[in-house]
Each structure stands twice: as C-alpha cells, then as structure tokens.
Structure 1
Amino acid sequence: MNETYEFNDIWFYPIYFDYLLSFRLATILKFSESYGNITFDPCRPTKCNSNSTCRFVFNQNRTYCTCKSGFYSQHCQFYEPQCSLYCSPDTLCKIGNRGILTNVNHSLCIGPLDRFEPHCYLHHGECYSNSCLNNGTCHLIYDPNDQRLSICQGKKDFHGDKYQYEKESIRIHINRTDLSLVSVVQFCDINITTFELLVQYQQVFHEFPQMIYYNHDLEETLRLAILKTYNDVNDLNYFILYMLHSLNIKMFNITSIPEQYPQV
C-alpha cells in the first residue's frame, strides 16, 4: 500500500467519551465558497511562526496555527522532549490532546494508516501481503472478529477479496424514443411463491435512456428488468425491458423494444 495524503485545511468539532476504543463522528463537512480560489489565501501573510503551519478553519471562518510535531502552547514556542521518546519518528506528536479521562500525561501519536498501538511503532502489513489484482487498491478495515483485515476497491468491473473476479455485464440498447423527465430502471427477482417483485438494483436517469449498463457479481442473473418513466407525479408509465426464463445466462447484450403496460 502506497498512499499519500495532503493536509490542507481543518474543521473543529468536539469529540467526547475519550475512554472508548474508537471515536464516531458523523457530520457534513462544508467548504467555503472561496475554497480552491488561488487568489484568496487567508493565511497570507502568515501569522504563524516557524514551529507551526497556518490552516483555515472552515466551520469557524478563521485561521489557526497548527503546531508541528512536538511543539505546543498557543504560539507553538515550547517543545516537549517526550515526543522523541514516546512516539514513532514518522508520527505527528501532539501535546495535551489525550482528552480529560485517560493517559493525560502521555502525548498523542498520530501515525500513517498502516501503523497502530499508542506509540505507532507496530506496522500493519496486511496490505503488503494481500495485494489487490486488476489495479485494485488495498484499504485496511476494522473487523471485530479479525476475519477480514482489508478490502480491495477500484473499478466497478471487478469484485472478490483480492479483486480477482470480473463482474458479469448486462448491456441493454433501447430501440424506442419517448419523452420523459425522469426514468427509473429496476432489475428485479421474483418470489416464486407470492410472485412479488424484489428490486435488487436500480438506476435513475434524467431522461428516457437509450443504453443501460449493469455489472453484477450475482450467482444468477435477475429475472426481470423494468423501466418506469415519469412526465410528472401523476403520469407514470411502465415498460418491460426483458424477462428471462433461464437464469444460467449471466452476461448478455441485447436490443430491447420495451413493451408498455398501461394497465399497471
């Protein structure tokens, strides 16, 4: 795993209950309208000294001097020697950031994605030994049962623990032109006992679609594809794109002349 992240700007949000094994924070991160505007830089001229870096706080509309590793206080003028002894050399050592309940006398070590334990000395090599195929990227995950320590992510055309399987593809060319504001394509299975349609996957279009692509990793192809078109809330039309009698077909490329069912 070879990933590099650039630290740009920050948000400030309080996180409590620091005695828990992990923190959970769910919020919407909003960028300012000037973000990405090279002519606007709130950190110029910089107000921070050489021991810190100026950052813009998005949710408070102000600048903030973040201390470099080992430095602390309001103006980052003091250095804590404990950082060179307690934390791994390739971590960011922060003083006074351990919270108010546990290990308050120790520094907080912020390390790379593949480092763990309080000092960040232990190296998690899962993504080195379990490399992904087909240009997939390995990401470490947390599994309480330690059954799966990483996942592979990448192009939607592949799946599997190591991204080793290519997904089956369904291509539908629609030989019909209609006007619609919104169209919804639903791939469904059918409950053979109740004949209930079970929607497994759907796509939304802002007009009447001409081509539909669906890559899947299912053991059996879904029996039915339905197209629903909307001209307004009360004007809904149903079309059948395909209906399979055999589920052994996993990949196909068809031209469909959808049949409308006005009685639905």
Structure 2
Amino acid sequence: MQSFCQKGAIFPYPFNGMIVPWLRHYYQWNRTWTDPTPDGFGMYGSIKCRGYRIASKKLLGLPYGSSVVAVRKIESIFCLASRLPEDTLTETESALQYPVNCWNDARTFNNRSYGFYDICKGLHECISQYRITDGHQDCGDAKDENSEVVKPTNYCFNLRKHRFQCSVVEMNCLATSSLGKTISYCQNKNDMFVADSICRPGQRGLIKNSDNPLCICSLDHFGPSCHIRNEACKSDPCGMNGTCHLTYDPSGDKPIVCQCSKQFYGDRCQYEKVVVGIDVNMTLAPSVSVVQFYDLDQLSWSIIKLLHQMITIGLPLTIRYYHDQEKAPFLSLLKTYEGFSDPQYYVLYVQWDRELINLTSTPRLCPNAMSLLPRSKLFAF
C-alpha cells in the first residue's frame, strides 16, 4: 500500500459498510498485512432511533475495541447521547427511523398485531419477536437474550412459526433450531421432541410408563421421544449418482431408497445406463415430432414392443436416450406431424445386437409404417 497510497491517508475497505451500513472499516496507508485486523472503525451514514434518526456528515472515528464489534451497543450510545459529536444531525421527519412505540399501537390489514415486542425498553431498538432468544444480541443491553427478562413476556403468543413454547404455563419461547437436542430447556422436556413429530405426553398409558409420551416420529428420527436421528444416509450410500431417502423400515431390511439421476440405475445407482445418441441430418420442419424406440419382447421374439418415446416441438437435431438394458433397442422411428394431416413415419436406424449406438442419421421415409404398426404398444409382424 505504501507504493500506491497517499502518505498519511486512511482508506475504507470495503467501501460500504459490511456488518451494518453505517459501520466502516479503515486502514492506514503504511500498514503491514501480517494482521488483517482493521486499524480503526468509523461511523458514516445514519442510525435508526425511536422517533428520529441520527446522520453523520463525515466519517467519525471510533476507538478500536470489543465494544465496537457490539454494534447494537454503539447504536444505543449514539441514540441516547445527550450531546452528539460535531458534524452529526438529528432528523425527526425521516422514513429511516423506528416508531416511538415500536408499532404496538398499529394493526395489520387483517387486524392482527405486528410481530414486535418492546423488549429493549428505554433503548433505541425495535426488534422483531423472532429475534428474541435467537442466539444473537440485538438490544444494546442484551435483554433480548436474557432468559430472566424474556420468560414473563409471553411474546410467543403472536408467533406462528419458527418458535416453540414449552407449555401454556411455561413461557419459554425457543428457537426451533434448539429442538430435538439432548439438553432440555423445558421442565416437561417437550423441547426434546422433534418439531415435526407428533408426541402426546401422558398417552402411552399401560404400554410402558405413563410419564413417557407416545410419539409418531418423522422419517429421519426415532426413539421413545424422537430424539435419535436416523443417519442411514450419512455415509452417502447412493454416491454421486443419486439422492438418498430414508424409509424408516422397522425391520431394517431396507432403511433407505436411492433416487437415481437420469443416467444411472440400481439399488445404489451403481449401474450406468447405456446411451443411444443420434444426430439427425434432415431439413424437414414439422410442427411436432415423436421419437420412438422399439425392441423385441423377451417373452415372444416375434413381437415388437415400444420401449420409450419422446415428444418435441419441431425437429430434434440431437437425440439422447438412456436405457437400462444389456443391448440397445434395435429400431428407432421418427413420427412427424404437420397441421391436421396424418403423421409421416421415418426410420432413424435399425441396429441389431448393439450395446452402444452413436450415429448420424438421415431419416428414410417409411410410407407403409401404418400397416406394420398397430396403435397398441405391442404389435406383431
């Protein structure tokens, strides 16, 4: 930097704020880069306060320290300061500010209260109820993460998703990410049950113990309270060729099923399908085309069976068909439609006893195909 930067200058990087819009990082012109820690922080921009906003006209330096990283505390200091630094202004008629009462006297269009709770009392913030006890400090004094402050609020009442209340009596409002763990934050231990499982405390009756719940577990969990995770897919048994899905087979004979990608098949997607590749050399411009693949039926070698067909708009110039047979289909036809006229049949290829077919085809018109091919999927010569 010393070779390119103006002597004695400081440089912001990144140019705009990274953690919050108003917090800038800056570096001295002659610094070394053995340590990437910024040389300082500064305020440049605006901070939302209750009933007003504070804006700076130039970069205001802030001393480096752990309190600077706690940006909510810095915001509170600015909003509640009786005397602001020079080159800052206060705007009360700004759209970039919090309501004085944090929207608590407003209603939504369907007459519901907003998802805000005045947990940061006496401070500048208005935070969503979903940000209370989410593991991140939002109030300058960290009241939103203080369980003793949060417990009596019953803020869970307005939340419909992503939060779990232990019971009607117990006011804990837990993030769903904390559910299903081995540590319980509820006296009734209901938070140890997975959120999408159906557990009914006291319904086990005489089966074992009335204190234990009767649970219907989701597919990826099991155990008396659905607290044990089914990790049969963790070893990636389907490999890179498929997606593993749990079956929760009680016998354990088939704990998973693999959904294979287009080119693979088998119980573990371990077999690669054989490809039929056709490049079409033809100038015809039909409205719709149908590509069909036929093979001999294994039960009766005198019967041809339609294996697969694909429909395209216009004429397909490149055709790819992946199949799971030892041999490729011996016959492929192209059926074209133009308006309401009868379809025209063309032969793409006839190849016997081939494992792999990769060719360029100039389709040949087959005007008598209709007499050879009944409309059913199975037809005789």
AA in 1 matched with 2:333: I
Contact 1:69 1:93 survives alignment (8 Å) = no
Equivalent position of 2:104 in the other structure: none
CA distance in 2, matches of 1:178, 1:44: 65
Q: Which runs of 5+ in 1 are unaligned?
A: 1-40, 55-64
1:224 aligned partner, one-letter code: L
Q: TM-score, normalised by structure 2?
A: 0.44
Question: Who is 2:194 aligned against?
Answer: 91
Partner of 2:237: 131
2:266 pairs with 1:163: no
Q: 1:261 aligns with which of 366, 370, 373?
A: 366
Q: How does 1:170-249 map to 2 (within 5 A)?
A: 170-191=276-297, 193=300, 195-246=302-353, 249=354
Question: What is the correspondence of 1:54-133 to structure 2 with a 5 Å cutoff?
Answer: 65-66=160-161, 68-70=163-165, 85=188, 87=190, 89=192, 91-92=194-195, 113-117=219-223, 119-129=225-235, 131-133=237-239
Aligned ranges for residues 2-41 of structure 1 at < 5 Å? Answer: none
Q: Which has the higher contact order (CA 8 A, sep 6+)?
A: 1
Q: CA deviation at 1:45?
A: 4.8
Distance 1:69 1:142 in 2: 26
In structure 2, the residue corresponding to 1:51 is in which secondary structure? helix
Aligned length: 205
Structure 2 stretches lacking a partner, 5+ long: 1-108, 117-128, 130-153, 174-183, 371-381
Q: How far is 1:53 from its partner? A: 7.1
Name the CA shift for 1:82/1:254 in 2 (closer, same or farther; >3 Å). Answer: same
Q: Secondary structure at the match of 2:285?
A: coil
Distance 1:44 1:161 in 2: 52
- TM-score w.r.t. the length of structure 1 is 0.60
What is the alpha-carbon distance in structure 2 between the residues aligned to residue 94 and residue 122 of structure 1?
12
**Is the 8 Å Cα contact of residues 172 and 254 (structure 1) preserved in structure 2?**
yes
Say whether the 8 Å CA contact 1:171–1:214 is kept in structure 2: yes
> How much does 1:146 deviate?
5.1
CA contact (8 A) 2:172 2:186 kept: no
Question: How far is the alpha carbon of 1:138 from its aligned partner?
Answer: 1.4
Cα-to-partner distance string for 1:45-102 (whole Å, 9 max, x where unaligned): 5488842676xxxxxxxxxx347323577xx9798x997646563621789x86xxx8
For 1:231 and 1:44, the matched residues in 2 are separated by 61
What percentage of aligned pairs have identical amino acids?
A: 32
Matched, 1:149 2:252: no
Secondary structure of 1:177's match? coil
Q: Closer, same or farther in 2 for the Cα pair 1:90/1:143, shift >3 Å?
A: closer
Equivalent in the alignment of 2:19: none
Aligned partner of 1:59 in structure 2 is none
Contact 1:172 1:211 in 2 (8 A): yes
Q: Which amino acid letter does the alignment assign opposite residue 165 of structure 2?
A: G
Distance in 2 between residues matched to 1:202 and 1:148, nearest whole Å: 32
Across the aligned residues of Structure 1 and Structure 2, the Cα RMSD in angstroms comes to: 4.1
Instruction: Quote the offset at 1:121 in angstroms.
Output: 2.5
Classify the secondary structure of the residue corresponding to 2:239: coil
